[in-house]
Amino acid sequence: MSTPARIGGFAAPEANRILDTACRRVGLDPEGAVVLRGHTNAVFRLTAEPVVAKIARLGTRSTDVQRTVQLVRWLTSLDFPTVTLLPVEQPVVVDGHAVTFWSYLPQPDHPVTAQQLAGPLRTLHQLPRPPFEIRPLDTVGAIRRSITAITELPPEQLQYLSARLDHLEKELIDLQFPLPPALLQGDPQHRNALHHGERAVLCDWDTTAFGSPEIDLVTIEIHCRRFGYGPAHYAAFADAYGFDVAGWDGYTVLRDLRELRMITTNAKRAPAGSNTLAEVSRRIEGLHRGDHEQRWHIL
C-alpha cells in the first residue's frame, strides 16, 4: 500500500482545501494551482495570476507567521532585496492554519549562486535592529526541541545526537565572535533566494532571528560543501561578503552545530520508511566517521 501524499505536513486534500478557502477570501483563483514545495511548508504557485501561496507547516503558530509578515513589510519599506508580499490583509487563517501570499518570480533553470547571496546577506547584517520584537538566536534550544520530537530514529542514534549537542554546547560558551550581532535570515542558501532580473532576492523568512551573523555564513559554507557546489563556489561568496567564516577559529564548532540542526530538523519530520529518514541516518553515520566532505542529498 502506497503512503498517502503529504504537503507541508498536511494530507494533500486538506492542503488543497485550505488553499482554496484562503484564496477565495482574498479574491484569488486557486484553480490549477501547482505544488512548488511540500517538505517544510506547503507552497503553491497559482496559475491564474503571478502569485505564490504558502501554507505554514502543520503545527506552526499563526503568531509566528504574523511576525514574518511584519518583518517582510518592514524590509520592503527599506527597499531590501526580498520577495514581496501581496498587498492584501494577511496572514489568512483557515482553521488555525496561516496562509500568506507572495509575488511570483519566474526562475531560470540555474539556481542563485552563493556569490549572489553575499550582497543581500551583508546588507541584512548591517540593518538596524527592527522596531519590533525579533526572537534571539537559540540554535542549541532548537536542536534540543527537535531531538525531543524525533520518533523514528533508534535509541542509539538519539543518544549520539544528544551527546554531540551537549559537547558542542560546552564548546560554544568559549567562542569569541568577530562580527557584531545582527538580524539573521536564519537559513540562507541557494534554494531560499530567487533571481529577480540581474539581482538575487532572499525569501523564506521563517527562521529569522537576532544573533551572530557567523551562523548565516556557516550555513552558506555547509550548503556549498555538502550539496556539491564546491569550494570555489564558497570562496566566491566569502570574497564578495568580505569575511571567510571557515578561516575563523570558531568555525568547526559552529559548523558542527549548524549541521546538527539541519539533521535533527529533518529527523523530527521523517516518517518511518521514508527517503528522508534514510538520508538522516546516512548523515548521522557520516558524523560518526568524522566525514565532513560527505555529499548530502537535498531534502
Query: Which residue, 17, 22, 52, 14, is CA-closest to 35?
Result: 52
| CB contact set of 114 (below 8 Å; sequence gap of 6+) | 190, 220, 223, 224, 229, 233, 234, 236, 237
Residue the block writes with cell 541516518: 281
Domains in the chain, CATH or no CATH each: 6-103 (3.30.200.20), 114-289 (3.90.1200.10)
Pull the grid cell for residue 45. Answer: 504557485
Q: Is pLDDT larger for residue 110 or for residue 78?
A: 78
Q: Are 197 and 226 in contact (CB under 8 A)?
A: no
The pLDDT tens digits for 244-283 are 999 999 999 999 999 999 999 999 999 999 999 999 999 9
| CB contact set of 106 (below 8 Å; sequence gap of 6+) | 50
Pull the grid cell for residue 259. Answer: 549541521
Q: What's the CA angle centered on 31, arms 28 and 35, to 5 degrees?
A: 100
Q: Are 198 and 116 in contact (CB under 8 A)?
A: no
Q: Are 51 and 25 in contact (CB under 8 A)?
A: no
At residue 1, the pLDDT reads 35
Q: Is 251 helix (H, G, I), strand (E, B) or coil?
A: helix
The pLDDT tens digits for 2-45 are 445 689 889 999 999 999 999 999 999 999 999 999 888 999 99
At residue 3, the pLDDT reads 46
| CB contact set of 183 (below 8 Å; sequence gap of 6+) | 124, 125, 127, 129, 130, 134, 208, 210
pTM: 0.94
| CB contact set of 5 (below 8 Å; sequence gap of 6+) | 11, 12
